[in-house]
Amino acid sequence: MSVSRGGFSSRIGFIMAAAGSAVGLGNIWGFPTQTAGNGGAAFVLVYLVLAFCLAYPAFMAELLIGRYGQANAVTSLQKMSKRPWQKHFAFVVGFGGIICASLILSFYGIIAGWMMSYAVEPVFTVVGLSSVAEWVITQDLLRNLLFTVLFMFMTVYIIRRGVEQGIEKWSKRLMPMMLALLVLLIIYVVNQEGASEGLQAYLNPDISRVLEPDLLVSALGQAFFSLSLGTSVMVIYGSYISKKENLVTLGAQVTLIDVSIAFLAGLLIIPAMYVAQAQGVAIFAEDGSLISGSSLVFTVLPTLFDSMGQMGLFIGFAFFVLMSIAALTSSISMLEGPVSYAVERHNMAREKATTFIGLVILLISIVIVVNISFMLDLVAMIATQYGQPIIAMLCCVFVGWIWQRNELLNEIKLGNETVENSLFWKVWPVYTKFVCPVAIAMVFIHSL
Ligand code: PFF
The rounded Å distance from CA 415 to ligand 1 centre is 27
Closest among 253, 264, 285, 319 to 31, alpha carbons compared = 264
Please tell me the distance from the alpha carbon of residue 171 to that of residue 14, in angstroms, as a whole number. 9
Q: Is 199 exposed, middle or buried (0-12, 13-18, 19+ CB in 10 A)?
A: middle
Name the 3-class secondary structure at 40. strand
Ligand 1 probe mutation, 330, 334, 391, most atoms within 8 A of CB: 330
pLDDT at 165 over 70: yes
Q: What is the ipTM of this complex?
A: 0.99
Q: Is the CB of 21 under 6 A from ligand 1?
A: yes
Please tell me the distance from the alpha carbon of residue 184 to that of residue 365, in angstroms, as a whole number. 33
What's at 364, amino acid-wise?
A: I
What's at 171, amino acid-wise?
A: S
Average of pLDDT values for 95-103?
98
What's at 120, amino acid-wise?
A: V
Q: Which residues contact 336 (CB under 8 A, 6 or more apart)?
A: 159, 163, 167, 233, 236, 237
Please tell me the distance from the alpha carbon of residue 416 to that of residue 430, in angstroms, as a whole number. 19
The whole-number pLDDT of residue 4 equals: 66
Closest among 178, 330, 327, 324 to 264, alpha carbons compared = 178
The rounded Å distance from CA 225 to ligand 1 centre is 5
Please tell me the distance from the alpha carbon of residue 146 to that of residue 294, in angstroms, as a whole number. 19
Residue bearing the CA closest to ligand 1, atom 11: 228
Q: Is the CB of 25 under 6 A from ligand 1?
A: yes
Q: Which atom of ligand 1 is nearest to the CA of 101?
A: 13
Asked if residues 216 and 39 have their Cβ atoms less than 8 Å apart, the reply is no
Q: Is the CB of 99 under 6 A from ligand 1?
A: no
Average of pLDDT values for 370-394?
94
- Mean pLDDT (the chain, rounded): 93
pLDDT tens, position by position, 115-139? 999 999 999 999 999 999 999 999 8
* Radius of gyration of the chain from its Cα atoms, rounded to whole angstroms: 21
The whole-number pLDDT of residue 2 equals: 40
The whole-number pLDDT of residue 169 equals: 93
Asked if residues 17 and 238 have their Cβ atoms less than 8 Å apart, the reply is no
Q: What percent of the chain has pLDDT over 70?
A: 99
Name the 3-class secondary structure at 133. helix
The whole-number pLDDT of residue 217 equals: 87
Class of domain 11-268+309-447: mainly alpha
pLDDT tens, position by position, 208-217? 888 888 888 8
Ligand 1 probe mutation, 103, 178, 228, 385, most atoms within 8 A of CB: 228
Ligand 1 probe mutation, 98, 236, 259, 333, most atoms within 8 A of CB: 333
Q: Which of 383-386's residues contact partners 24+ apart within 8 Å by CB, and which partners?
A: 383/100, 383/103, 383/104, 383/107, 384/104, 384/221, 384/224, 384/225, 385/221, 385/447
φ, ψ dihedrals at 231, nearest 5°: -130, 5
What letter would DSSP give residue 291?
P
The rounded Å distance from CA 136 to ligand 1 centre is 25
The rounded Å distance from CA 108 to ligand 1 centre is 9
Closest among 395, 387, 391 to 433, alpha carbons compared = 395
Please tell me the distance from the alpha carbon of residue 105 to that of residue 331, in angstroms, as a whole number. 6
Asked if residues 201 and 37 have their Cβ atoms less than 8 Å apart, the reply is no
Q: Is 1 exposed, middle or buried (0-12, 13-18, 19+ CB in 10 A)?
A: middle
Average of pLDDT values for 190-198?
93
Average of pLDDT values for 365-386?
94
pLDDT tens, position by position, 251-277? 999 999 999 999 999 999 999 999 999
Domain boundaries of the chain, sorted by first residue = 11-268+309-447
Name the 3-class secondary structure at 6. coil
Q: Which atom of ligand 1 is nearest to the CA of 234?
A: 13
pLDDT at 306 over 90: no
Average of pLDDT values for 311-323?
92
Q: Which residues contact 426 (CB under 8 A, 6 or more apart)?
A: none
Name the 3-class secondary structure at 138. coil
